[in-house]
Amino acid sequence: MVPIRLFPPSPLHKHDTMTIDVVLKLGVGVALLFSTIPFYVNTSGEVSVEWFVGRLSKHVNGPGLNFVLPIVGSYRKVKVIPDTDCVKNIPCGTKGGTMIFFDELCVVNQLHACGVYNVTYNYPNMDWDQEVIYRRVEKLVNAFCSTHTVKEINQERFHEIEPFVTTGLKEKAPKCVEIHEVRVKKPKLQADLKNEYEKAEREHAMLETELKRRNKTIAEAETQKRKEIIEKEKEASLAAIEQEKALVQKQGEDARADISNAMEFKKHKSAADAAAYSKWLAAASEANATRAGADAERYSKEQQAAANKVYLTPEVMRIEYWKAMINGSRVYFFGDSIPSFFGGLTQELLGAGTE
């Protein structure tokens, strides 16, 4: 039975079929091509370097999908995030010749992308951290141990190992290699040394306990002594306060007594001043009266003297003189003296009248 086609085949349908066949063939070809070309993926924190015909390329591939040519090309992945490399069981000879071992020394380091090419170029056949970290750590640890004793390494100067190794690693580290941290564990000692140090540690612990007990006893004694001193100082302070209080009270009483005495003295002084003033006024009045009488008498005498000066002229005085002589005197005449006397009297009177 032959199928009957209701509609003839369309030319457009034939063209779509051809397009699908081309796409399928192209996809298969690309898949075959990718299957023959090696590829790899760098995750976050990884980069890669490639060799082409044995020559290292300076280009560093970042995270993502990367391709490498088959047969003539190769690649290597390198971490660029902080990584921890631990060196274990490091033998170490001390200054005294004793051999000890460090169980583990870990170095936290980071290789930045800027140094991947140089590190890979300088260390093409090995991991760079084997030379830069592991071997360098062993060399530095032995250098430190060779200048110190077992006791210094295990106890007194153990804390100096980490900064010593860190400084040594940073001095020789390649460019773009960063040393973040170094951690080291206590070294392992031989059995006899271990027993000796354990014994020394026990003795040291006992000594520290005894010292703590003694210091505690001393501290308690000092505390008690300080309490006693404080109590004595407190008592002395209270006594001083009481003395100061009594002194202030005594000073207050003295001040009140001084004020009372001053008021009484002022009162008596005022009365004495009043009496003295009264006496002074009386004396002043009497003196004024005496002075007035003396002044009046002196004035009278002065006036009498002035009047006498005007009245008692030389002529009047001669007349009064002769009057007094005549009235009150007895004259005895002898011989020749009579005429001379009366002659002189007459002459005096005549002279006075003439004048």
Q: Which of 143, 160, 189 is the last residue of a domain?
A: 189
CATH number, position 142: 3.30.479.30
Domain with 54, as residue range(s), is 12-76
Judge if pTM exceeds 0.85.
no
Does residue 143 lie within any of the structural domains?
yes
Whether residues 63 and 130 share a domain: the answer is: no
For residue 347, the model assigns a pLDDT of 58
Does residue 23 lie within any of the structural domains?
yes
pLDDT in tens, the chain (355 residues): 444 544 455 554 555 666 777 777 777 666 665 556 677 888 998 999 998 888 888 999 999 888 888 788 888 888 899 999 999 999 988 888 888 899 999 999 999 999 889 988 888 876 788 888 999 999 999 999 999 988 888 888 899 999 999 999 999 888 899 999 999 988 887 666 666 666 666 677 788 888 888 888 888 888 888 888 898 888 888 888 888 888 888 888 888 888 888 888 888 777 877 887 788 888 777 777 787 777 788 888 888 777 777 766 777 777 777 777 777 655 555 555 555 555 555 555 555 444 4
Whether residues 17 and 89 share a domain: the answer is: no
Burial annotation 208-241 (CB, 10 A radius, 16+ → b, else e): eeeeeeeeeeeeeeeeeeeeeeeeeeeeeeeeee
Whether residues 60 and 109 share a domain: the answer is: no
Whether residues 84 and 72 share a domain: the answer is: no
Q: Which of 173, 189, 205 is the last residue of a domain?
A: 189
Does residue 220 lie within any of the structural domains?
no
- Give tens-digit pLDDT for 237-255: 888 888 888 888 888 888 8
Q: Which of 137, 167, 189 is the last residue of a domain?
A: 189
Does residue 289 lie within any of the structural domains?
no
Residues with Cβ < 8 Å from 134, sequence gap 6 or more? 85, 87
Whether residues 98 and 143 share a domain: the answer is: yes
| Rounded Cα–Cα distance for residues 316 and 213 (Å) | 142
Does residue 255 lie within any of the structural domains?
no
Please tell me the total count of domains within the chain.
3
| Rounded Cα–Cα distance for residues 137 and 154 (Å) | 18
Whether residues 177 and 137 share a domain: the answer is: yes
Does residue 277 lie within any of the structural domains?
no
CA 34 vs CA 58, 69, 141, 272: distances in Å: 25, 11, 51, 142
Whether residues 25 and 90 share a domain: the answer is: no
For residue 260, the model assigns a pLDDT of 82
